[in-house]
Structure 1
Amino acid sequence: MKKYLLFFTFPCFFLFPMMFVYQSSLFGSPQSLTEENDYGTMGPVSFKKRSLKSCESLVSQMNTSIPTLLIDVEFLQMLEKGSCETCTGRPIKIGVDVKHLSATWILEDPRFEVLYFTNESAKDYLDFRSDPRKIIPKKFPTRWVGNVEVPNNIKMFVGFWQRAKFAECLNLHIPRAGAKVRMPARPSSAVLARLRDELIENEMFPFLNGGTLLGWYRECSVIPHTQDMDISVFAEDYNSGFVEEMERNDSSFMIRRKFGMTNDSFELTLAPKDGFRVFIDVFLMYPGIENGTVTHHWVGGVSPDGTKYKYTYPVYDPWCAADLHGHIFWVTCTPNEKIVKEYGKLWYLDHLTSKYSWNSSGKNVKRNGKWTKEQMKEVYKVFK
């Protein structure tokens, strides 16, 4: 028996080396699949084999000697799903701070498509030198994989990037001899930015509307004689958890008024608990649907007697970003169209707030029914 076992085992010592040589001739040596570039990281060869790598290993292979920000939306979405098999050999988009402009070698790295950005301390956004220009909030959670900064909340970051196209304001000179300043621009913009951040934390993307949109577009500022600020949130994005936070006293804002229902003419008037006191109206914006198609958008209002009002706009497109005294806010990409609809062809002329009626002066407002006395107990609440 030992004799036969010896004859069977002996050829195997030759068989295994022969198999290894044969495999190497077909697939190449292991080193040929993991060549390194000049920066000590995996080069283009390994990127062609992404389907064999985990998402995390792909991120680690993007490491360089300078800090980078991973901004490639397609890759981030695959990273969130934990499925990077479909990632092709295309360059991955990364952001690089302009303070690293001298590191020109990164522009030659075939792994990357580089977008430089500025990060000014006086502004709360990153400003990308892209075409078109893009800006995104600088405040979002990240983690580091070597020198690669990766957004933690990918859904939030994708929302930022989808709304990043920069929109310019006109900076018109508006003569206002003797007009009283009720709303100082810088402190009121700072408070509005605080509210923006809390809404973002609650997975809502607010955008400028009404007089605040007009002030930004017309004069790159806040209308000084206005009595409040206006922002909107799409009704389908509304998160009631934010109101619950304020009711639990877990927010830096408090509710002063709450009108309507979440499915009809909902409006909040908020004020900060500390700092500069400014009232901010937050409107839910609803889609106007005709024959199954969204043909317009609208926000609502209600008077003390229960009369409802409807402010209609062309289909809203708040996918652009603007600067208001160093703060990023989202705005419609077609501001002139929306402003003409609401304020008419003479929108570039100043109209004193004291002479502007909220429920009749607008060109886009009309009555929209009336709440009953019983309904008013629920839909019209004013808090001290």
Structure 2
Amino acid sequence: MTKQWSHDQKLYGNRGEGAYDKMEFAEVKVDNVYFMVPKYPKKFLTQIQHSTFLECNYERAAKFVSRHYDDGDVVGERFRSNAKDILIAGAAVLDELGIPFWLSSGTCLSWFRECRIIGHSLDVDFGMKIEDYSVRLIPAMEMAGLMLVHQFGKRSDSYELSFVKDQLKLDIFFFYEEGNTLWNGGSDTSTGEKYKYIFPWFDLCWTEFIGIKVRVPCQTLSYVEANYGKSWNTKVTSWNWKSSPPNVIPNGQWPKEEWPEVMQVFEIIEVEES
């Protein structure tokens, strides 16, 4: 029995550039014309609404690099190589878990401004919504060689995880919805003070960054300006996480009795092979 399409069923297409998972195709004959269509159309159709692709502005990046860097940036190139390894490892874990994450903070600025990892960065930054958190996240990261070193906040407030691989840190900031904004938190381990970083609402788009498919905020300019201000296109090497971002505001203080729970710092223990 051949399934017939009813008149109210529609075939949706993407009006712009799109990014899709690798898929199998099948040959279909319609009115003596052969077409190649996705073998699993439902899987394809579910990707369309989240498939918008943003190309990095390589012309702008080239201008920035020519102004601020020279050919002797050996330390920067070494950091970029190591940061790429941890970015790929972390992305692979989250993709396997089906957790939609995006490039955040300095790593988002890296993509938007330079189309590569900023050489004087200190870490790699991901963002994800708190409702997408999974209890499988930490065990899966550690199975992949990314060891948990910081766990700040709690699921209901200012949650943040940091992992280390080969002495390089991957921060995952969890975002909370508040009206027409999103925010992530920060905690000062010396004082217990909390901070809130507020971003205008954004959607997620796909892009290609250092050879891998990752998400970025579609409204990237407003996202970057929220975090780095109008001078985001200027090289800055001194940065204070509590005072430099224009979108940071105080957010109270953790009660002292909660410090052991909300500001956990773990030591990495290296086991010698026998």
Question: Would you say same fold, with TM above 0.5?
Answer: yes
Task: Measure how far apart 1:321 and its partner are.
Answer: 0.8
2:210 equivalent in structure 1: 325
Distance across 2 between alignment mates of 1:159 and 1:224: 37
Matched residue type, 2:177:
P
Task: Specify whether residues 88 and 282 from structure 1 end up closer, same or farther in structure 2 by C-alpha distance, changes over 3 A only.
Answer: same
Task: Measure how far apart 1:160 and its partner are.
Answer: 4.7
Task: Measure how far apart 1:158 and its partner are.
Answer: 6.3
1:266 equivalent in structure 2: 159
**2:155 aligned with 1:281, yes or no?**
no
Aligned residue for 2:180, secondary structure, equals strand
1:210 equivalent in structure 2: 105
Matched residue type, 1:299:
N
Distance across 1 between alignment mates of 2:138 and 2:42: 22
Matched residue type, 2:261:
E
Which of 166, 177, 180 is the equivalent residue of 1:295? 180
Which of 162, 170, 173 is the equivalent residue of 2:64? 173
Superposition pairs for residues 100-249 of structure 1, below 5 Å? 131-138=15-22, 150=39, 154=43, 160-170=47-57, 171=61, 172-174=63-65, 175-176=68-69, 180-181=75-76, 184-246=79-141, 249=142
Task: Specify whether residues 183 and 359 from structure 1 end up closer, same or farther in structure 2 by C-alpha distance, changes over 3 A only.
Answer: farther
How big is each residue's C-alpha offset from its partner over 1:256-306, in whole Å with a ceiling of 9 and x where there is no partner? Answer: 11111011100011123xxx5531100111001xxxxx2210000101121
Which of 293, 306, 310 is the equivalent residue of 2:192? 306
Matched residue type, 1:215:
S
Gap regions ≥5 residues in structure 1: 1-33, 35-45, 51-85, 94-129, 289-293
Task: Specify whether residues 144 and 279 from structure 1 end up closer, same or farther in structure 2 by C-alpha distance, changes over 3 A only.
Answer: farther
Aligned residue for 1:173, secondary structure, equals helix
- Note if contact 1:183-1:222 (Cα within 8 Å) is conserved in structure 2: no
- Note if contact 2:110-2:116 (Cα within 8 Å) is conserved in structure 1: yes
Matched residue type, 1:173:
F
How big is each residue's C-alpha offset from its partner over 1:317-366, in whole Å with a ceiling of 9 and x where there is no partner? Answer: 22x111111111101111111111211111100001xx111111111111
Task: Specify whether residues 176 and 323 from structure 1 end up closer, same or farther in structure 2 by C-alpha distance, changes over 3 A only.
Answer: same
Matched residue type, 2:91:
R
- Note if contact 2:83-2:123 (Cα within 8 Å) is conserved in structure 1: no
1:250 equivalent in structure 2: 143
Q: Which structure ranks higher in relative contact order (CA pairs < 8 Å, sequence separation ≥ 6)?
A: 2
Aligned residue for 1:279, secondary structure, equals strand
Distance across 1 between alignment mates of 2:229 and 2:11: 47
Task: Measure how far apart 1:132 and its partner are.
Answer: 0.9
Aligned residue for 2:100, secondary structure, equals coil
Cα RMSD (Å): 3.1
Task: Measure how far apart 1:190 and its partner are.
Answer: 4.0
> What is the percent sequence identity of the aligned residues?
27
Distance across 2 between alignment mates of 1:381 and 1:344: 31
Task: Measure how far apart 1:222 and its partner are.
Answer: 0.7
Larger radius of gyration: 1
Gap regions ≥5 residues in structure 2: 29-35, 268-274
Distance across 2 between alignment mates of 1:168 and 1:341: 21
Distance across 1 between alignment mates of 2:167 and 2:182: 30
Distance across 1 between alignment mates of 2:163 and 2:130: 18
Instruction: Tell me the TM-score normalized by structure 2.
Output: 0.79
How big is each residue's C-alpha offset from its partner over 1:146-183, in whole Å with a ceiling of 9 and x where there is no partner? Answer: 997645994xx666543321112232423135764276
Distance across 1 between alignment mates of 2:51 and 2:84: 19
Aligned residues: 251
1:108 equivalent in structure 2: none
Task: Specify whether residues 144 and 383 from structure 1 end up closer, same or farther in structure 2 by C-alpha distance, changes over 3 A only.
Answer: farther
Distance across 2 between alignment mates of 1:359 and 1:153: 46
Matched residue type, 1:134:
G
2:228 equivalent in structure 1: 343
Aligned residue for 2:99, secondary structure, equals coil
